[in-house]
């Protein structure tokens, strides 16, 4: 199955393109106090190392907005300023060098305040994401639809798009996130039918890493397989590095990106003679620095392993205190259990 992506308008966040023919961009958000510059930079650098392509930071006050100047000087990826409630924080962030602004129409206030933000974004030639969240839809819209349905979110977003378009501003990214998977999917499908602005996909308040990754993947995969989505954030209650890892895992799985190793490992069964959970973790850790796309298998028996994982570029099939290294289903080396990981790395590095 080949995914045909919807054609969207390209926009630039710093040097990173979202939409158009650009690959789907993986982004995350810091969980530090932005005004704690040192800790924020440290977290962004960890995210850069994990492959994060754009970072968003919360701007809850003027000190955080001013901190953007120093943060920008010490990181490599573009920064998005996340603004709620106070339009002056958007203006200050734009002046401080934000590469993009995210505003929530439900809480930014009256039209003239939004127009001020539009004017500044035009002056500095940066894009704006209009990010509607189910939990913070404008009062009038919510009154009309009674609860935060997909239709209510789309109505809130449409109203805001009209305002931007009437101000001749089209440097936009859109999002309509909810906690509920099907509401989110319905809202994005609706928006993608009517607009060609690039879409930022995500699920809000998705949960702890394991549950959150499953819930986010369910929603995002339903959209991505229909060709919808230009940038993703897998929101998790946990280390943001996991958001980036989950993002690439999802895109790799759908063939939408090729980034870093894909680890194939069997679930184990009564034939397994080795601690495969530990062995797989060791392989994963050893491959963490690799950014090239490579499929590596870790299988629990020598009889079935190489054949079952034929699609892997390289693999280990472990037996009792020994194992084999294989490539594309063919055994290339036998070795003792303790030498399996280093032998695998040697073969990968030689390739």
Computed from CA positions of residues 251, 5, 206, 101, in that sequence, does the dihedral angle turn out positive or negative?
Answer: positive
Smaller CB distance to ligand SF4: residue 3 or 303? Answer: 303
Smaller CB distance to ligand SF4: residue 70 or 304? Answer: 304
Among 272, 286, 335, 345, binds ligand SF4 (CB under 6 A): 272
Smaller CB distance to ligand SF4: residue 128 or 301? Answer: 301
Per CB under 6 A, which region of 139-147, 193-201, 279-287, 296-304 contacts ligand SF4? Answer: 296-304
240 binds ligand SF4 (CB under 6 A): no
Phi, psi of 208 (to 5 degrees): -65, 160
Smaller CB distance to ligand SF4: residue 39 or 268? Answer: 268
266 binds ligand SF4 (CB under 6 A): yes
Neighbours of 21 (CB within 10 A): 9
Closest-approach residue to ligand SF4 (CB):
300
Tokens of 301: 């028996």
Query: Nearest-CA neighbor of 318 among 329, 328, 326?
Result: 326
How many residues belong to the site for ligand SF4 (CB under 6 A)? 12
300 binds ligand SF4 (CB under 6 A): yes
Q: In 3-state terms, what secondary structure has residue 155?
A: helix
Smaller CB distance to ligand SF4: residue 240 or 315? Answer: 315
Among 51, 105, 305, 323, binds ligand SF4 (CB under 6 A): 305
Give the bridge partners for 18, in sequence order. Answer: 11
3-state secondary structure 108-151: CCCHHHHHHHHHHHHHCCCCEEEEEEHHHCCHHHHHHHCCCCHH
Smaller CB distance to ligand SF4: residue 261 or 300? Answer: 300
Give the position of tokens 């000087």. Answer: 73
Could you list the residues that contact ligand SF4 (CB under 6 A)?
A: 266-269, 271-272, 299-301, 304-305, 308
């Amino acid at each position: 199955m080949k995914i045909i992506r919807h054609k969207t308008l390209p926009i630039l966040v710093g040097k990173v393109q979202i939409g158009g023919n650009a690959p789907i961009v993986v982004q995350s958000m810091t969980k530090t106090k932005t005004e704690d510059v040192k800790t924020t930079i440290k977290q962004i650098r960890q995210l850069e190392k994990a492959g994060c392509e754009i970072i968003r930071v919360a701007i809850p006050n003027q000190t955080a907005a001013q901190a953007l100047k120093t943060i920008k000087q010490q990181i490599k990826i573009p920064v998005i300023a996340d603004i709620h409630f106070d339009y002056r924080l958007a203006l200050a962030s734009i002046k401080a060098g934000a590469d993009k602004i995210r505003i929530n129409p439900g809480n930014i206030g009256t039209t003239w305040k939004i127009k001020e933000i539009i004017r500044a974004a035009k002056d500095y030639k940066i894009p704006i994401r209009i990010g509607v969240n189910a939990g913070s839809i404008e009062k009038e819209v919510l009154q009309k639809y009674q609860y935060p349905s997909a239709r209510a979110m789309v109505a809130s977003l449409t109203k805001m798009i009209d305002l931007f378009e009437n101000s001749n501003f089209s440097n936009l990214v859109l999002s309509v996130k909810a906690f509920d998977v099907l509401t989110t999917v319905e809202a994005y499908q609706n928006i993608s039918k009517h607009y060609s602005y690039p879409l930022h996909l995500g699920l809000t308040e998705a949960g702890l890493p394991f549950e959150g990754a499953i819930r986010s993947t369910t929603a995002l995969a339903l959209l991505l397989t229909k060709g919808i989505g230009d940038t993703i954030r897998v929101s998790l209650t946990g280390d943001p590095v996991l958001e980036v890892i989950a993002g690439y895992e999802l895109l790799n799985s759908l063939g939408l990106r090729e980034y870093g190793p894909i680890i194939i490992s069997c679930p184990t069964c009564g034939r397994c003679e080795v601690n495969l959970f530990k062995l797989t973790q060791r392989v994963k850790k050893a491959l963490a620095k690799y950014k090239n796309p490579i499929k590596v298998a870790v299988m629990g028996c020598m009889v079935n392993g190489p054949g079952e994982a034929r699609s892997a570029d390289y693999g280990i099939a472990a037996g009792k205190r020994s194992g084999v290294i294989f490539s594309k289903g063919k055994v290339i080396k036998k070795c003792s259990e303790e030498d399996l990981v280093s032998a695998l790395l040697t073969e990968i590095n030689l390739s």
